[in-house]
């Protein structure tokens, strides 16, 4: 062994890549994605300018805009809610609360909205976000609903898929509605109680 640098991961020679620069680039990308309202509005030049970084520094790490955005979106992932409460009502409220909290982060919502709005142009991006972020969260809610049916708390003929659309759709729509202001903190409980009890009298 003539090498003394065989430590572990074979650190390459030369100046190491700045971690600060990488973070600044990702942050700037998300900022622009949220502000410009679309993937098309994000330009490498704008990202570089906002991050206080040379374009070289970006192109050294990512081959193009799509790859940068994909990596940036990964930084948005939040841990899945894992409710195992005593009742369906509490499980659903916990999940809905996590949704509302997510949607209260304006930057986060705007990023997802921007990406999903660019479906025709960047199908790969949309497919990836759907698979890695949206679908797992939908599954958590479906599982909670199925548990409720099994425990007898929910009507046995409940359409789980439809029920799931109702809860997530309401929150999403409310969060994105123009001019409706921020989602109230108790929105999760109110919607769960409303759909559990039903609109009809008695």
Binding site for DNA (CB under 7 A): 4-5, 11-18, 21-22, 42-46, 52-57, 59-61, 64-65
Residues in region 81-120 near its own copies by CB under 8 A: 110, 113-114, 116-120
CB of 54 to DNA, least distance (A): 3
Of 129, 202, 194, 201, the closest CA to residue 166 belongs to 194
d(CA 61, CA 57): 7
The set of residues, in sequence order, having a beta carbon less than 8 Å from that of 149 and lying 6+ positions away, is 155, 156, 158, 160
Is residue 11 within 8 A of residue 5, CB to CB? The reply is yes
Cα dihedral value 86, 92, 97, 103, nearest 10: 160
Q: Which stretch binds its own copies (CB under 8 A): 20-28, 58-66, 95-103, 188-196?
A: 188-196
- Binding partner at 113 among its own copies, DNA, none, C-beta below 5 to 8 Å by kind: its own copies
Handedness of CA 145, 148, 154, 159 (dihedral sign): positive
**Residue 21 vs 160, nearer CB to its own copies:** 160
3-class secondary structure, 199: coil
- Binding partner at 1 among its own copies, DNA, none, C-beta below 5 to 8 Å by kind: none
- Binding partner at 43 among DNA, its own copies, none, C-beta below 5 to 8 Å by kind: DNA
- Binding partner at 107 among its own copies, DNA, none, C-beta below 5 to 8 Å by kind: none
Cα dihedral value 46, 24, 117, 163, nearest 10: -170
**Residue 30 vs 154, nearer CB to DNA:** 30
- Contacting residues toward its own copies, per CB under 8 A: 35-38, 40-41, 110, 113-114, 116-121, 126-127, 130, 134, 145, 148, 152-156, 158-159, 162-163, 165-166, 168-174, 176-179, 190-191, 194-202
């Amino acid at each position: 062994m003539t090498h003394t640098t065989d430590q572990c991961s074979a650190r390459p020679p030369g100046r190491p890549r700045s971690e600060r620069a990488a973070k600044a680039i990702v942050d700037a990308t998300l900022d622009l994605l949220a502000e410009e309202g679309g993937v098309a509005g994000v330009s490498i030049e704008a990202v570089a300018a906002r991050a206080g970084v040379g374009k070289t520094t970006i192109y050294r790490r990512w081959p193009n805009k799509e790859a940068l955005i994909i990596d940036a979106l990964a930084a948005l992932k939040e841990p899945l809610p894992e409710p195992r409460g005593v009742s369906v009502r509490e499980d659903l409220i916990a999940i809905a609360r996590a949704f509302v909290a997510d949607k209260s982060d304006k930057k986060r919502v705007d990023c997802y909205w921007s990406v999903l709005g660019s479906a025709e142009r960047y199908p790969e991006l949309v497919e990836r976000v759907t698979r890695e972020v949206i679908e797992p969260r939908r599954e958590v809610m479906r599982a909670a609903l199925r548990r409720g049916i099994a425990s007898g708390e929910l009507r046995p003929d409940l359409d789980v898929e439809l029920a799931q659309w109702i809860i997530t759709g309401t929150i999403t729509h409310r969060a994105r509605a123009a001019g409706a202001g921020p989602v109230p903190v108790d929105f999760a409980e109110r919607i769960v109680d409303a759909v559990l009890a039903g609109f009809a009298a008695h």
